A and B are shown apart, each in its own frame.
Chain A
Amino acid sequence: MIRIFVLMVFLFLYAPIAFVIASSFLDNGSFTLKWFEKVFEDYKVIRAFSNSLILAIASTFFSVILGTAAAYAYIRTKMSFESLFYTPVVIPEIAEALSLLLFYNLLSFPLGFYSVLLGHIAFNVAFVFVIVKARLAGYERSIEEASLTLGANEIQTFLRVTLPMAMPGIIAASLIAFTLSWDNFIKTVFTTGPGFQTLPMLIWSQAVRGVVSPSLNALATLMLLISITLAYLYIRVSTKRE
């Protein structure tokens, strides 16, 4: 009984995704790649793709540096600022997005790439902090102290002892930060201006009319494959460590 129920639930979860992927390769029942060709020929798609990619890379870069430094400081000093980093994780995106829009509006900050990037770094810093902190939980100061006692200086110790210990956490956090930024829709829409469009915004602008089209399926399939690849990398990184 329970087996059949569980099977049905997994069918419910994966049938729509399988349907999108399958129909992006089909034209009247026969295999085709023409929907993908159409996607790659569309200038707007290419533009949105590069916007999304640059945004995700930049926000990952800055948030990993800020968040990792804070997580390291927390592990070493146990300062009581931890809860500052939890609010952005639990607050719904739309509340965060509208507050940032008001902030930019008050400052007359121009809306576009930079306003979106600054917003993405904000939520990513919090996620990076939480993940790296969790991965550094088994951290032992004595290993660093051993390195210092054996004659390595602070910088050598940091580069050759501390950083390698923190690396699995940093990689995991980078993958999550990249995904969150790459997929983000609500915060991007609220803080962007004319001329800066990302892939999720492009999908939204077509899907909101309730129209399912084969080329939109192809675009969705490409994005699904990227998400699944990132998830796979994450699973590889996090299981390797154990």
Chain B
Amino acid sequence: MKRLDQIIVVIEIFLIVIMSIIAAYSLFGTNIWGYLLGFGLILIGVLTIVWKNRRPEIFSSLVILSAICCLFQHNRVDLLADFNNGSLPGISTTLIEACGLGLVTVLGYLMLKLLNNIQIEHKSLVDGQAEKEEIRSVTRDKMMAAAIFVFLSGMISIPVILLSNGLMVGISNALSGFSGNIVAIGLGIMLLLASCLYWLGRTLRS
């Protein structure tokens, strides 16, 4: 039982380190600030997720914020043209590299979230005096299922990304010839998406 707990912690630390290194590298490269940022992110991740057993949202948000400059280099709508004379900090990456960076970050977040849920449930089962063998079996199967689910969601995403990349080029070309305010279009899409999500949430709840 203790061993399974330790395995979860090791996996969590591994994910935290990978995500932190990638985020720090994407912002500062391999200079001293990069190392400092990486170390800071690892510290925050270990403190919040491993030590305090909190949800991984804070750590993941910081990772995404660190990597956002690198990711924003691939904006097709140049809303940040006036910011810092159009040049953003961070290493320059190709679209595929940036997608890889983004996917690692988000898949890492998903895995951390599921592992956190498993840890909470594991603790509640131990407190609830369930059989040790049953707890071990459930935790092991749940970890396996989490890995499969996250892997599957990543695998399904890759062909969709490749397909939609071509579509995105077409959409951005069409939008570039559009005379209306691009911010208004973006907000409209966002509202539409929010409405869809709200409807989906209501349907699922009912």
The answer to whether A and B interact is no
Residues of B within 8 A of A (CB): none
Binding site for B on A (CB under 8 A): none
